[in-house]
């Protein structure tokens, strides 16, 4: 019906153009073609979905949160005469370095999982989510083991500013990793229940975006807190 009205408007405009000579009245009106939401042009891009915009905003807020914590750490770190303070244990650089490698590998497995979403290789997607979550659990277990040793050696949140800022900064990251692992397990269960398909799998992409965040943050924290 809209196309018929549009064609009639064009015909009426052309008829007016033939009847009017130069300088007589306003120029003929030609109607604009009706807008078709599905026709975006050959070179245009599909707008980003609201859920992905919300996720990007959340990631930006999270980055600013960690920027604040890192800023506080830098102030205490370079304002102290001795770091770590006398009587406080030094952080386990080697073991945590190996743990950093584990988390970085989990970022690679998540990236591979993302690539399988395009051609929807369901088995490989499930395996990738399983492996990524497993590496995340290993990272948390190793970190928890090292924390238990540090506490036995006297490094607690009450022992010094050094201990308080360490557990606050690294502990917040550990909570993020824990939340990311839970998210991966949830989308994995949904995948096993056939709640996703080739066209509907945004939850997996969002979980991947969050996982990339926790992976990208950790080398910064490791280099700043453990290696200095």
Q: pTM for this structure?
A: 0.75
pLDDT at 13 over 60: no
Q: Residue 12's pLDDT is what?
A: 53
pLDDT at 158 over 50: yes
Query: How high is the mean pLDDT of the chain?
Result: 81
Q: Residue 80's pLDDT is what?
A: 72
User: Where does the chain have alpha helices with state H?
Assistant: 2-19, 50-79, 93-119, 122-152, 161-192, 202-221
Cβ-based neighbours of 176, under 8 Å, separated by 6 or more: 62, 213, 214, 217
Domain spans, the chain: 1-46, 54-226
Right CATH number for 54-226 from 3.20.20.210, 1.20.120.80, 1.50.40.10, 1.10.10.10?
1.20.120.80
pLDDT in tens, 25-58: 544 444 444 444 444 333 334 445 788 888 999 9
| Structure-token match 């770091």, residue found | 83
Q: Residue 100's pLDDT is what?
A: 95
* Token pair recorded at residue 126: 């499930």
Collapse the DSSP code of 120 into the 3-class scheme (helix H, G, I; strand E, B; otherwise coil) and give the result: coil
């Amino acid at each position: 019906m809209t196309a018929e009205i549009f064609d009639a408007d064009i015909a009426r405009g052309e008829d007016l153009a033939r009847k009017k000579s130069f300088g007589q009245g306003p120029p003929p009106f030609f109607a604009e073609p009706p807008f078709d939401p599905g026709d975006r042009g050959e070179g245009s891009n599909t707008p980003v979905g609201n859920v992905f915009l919300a996720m990007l905003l959340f990631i930006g807020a999270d980055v600013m949160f960690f920027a604040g914590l890192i800023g506080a750490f830098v102030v205490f770190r370079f304002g102290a005469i001795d770091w770590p303070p006398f009587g406080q244990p030094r952080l386990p650089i080697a073991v945590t370095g190996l743990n950093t490698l584990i988390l970085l590998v989990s970022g690679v497995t998540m990236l591979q999982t993302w690539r399988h979403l395009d051609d929807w290789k369901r088995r490989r997607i499930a395996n990738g989510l399983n492996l990524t979550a497993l590496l995340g659990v290993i990272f948390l277990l190793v970190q928890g083991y090292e924390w238990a040793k540090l506490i036995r050696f006297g490094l607690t949140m009450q022992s010094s500013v050094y201990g308080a800022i360490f557990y606050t900064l690294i502990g917040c990251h550990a909570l993020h990793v824990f939340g990311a692992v839970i998210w991966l397990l949830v989308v994995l269960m949904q995948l096993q229940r056939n709640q996703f398909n080739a066209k509907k799998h945004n939850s997996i992409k969002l979980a991947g975006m969050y996982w990339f965040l926790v992976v990208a943050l950790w080398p910064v924290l490791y280099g700043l807190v453990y290696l200095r």
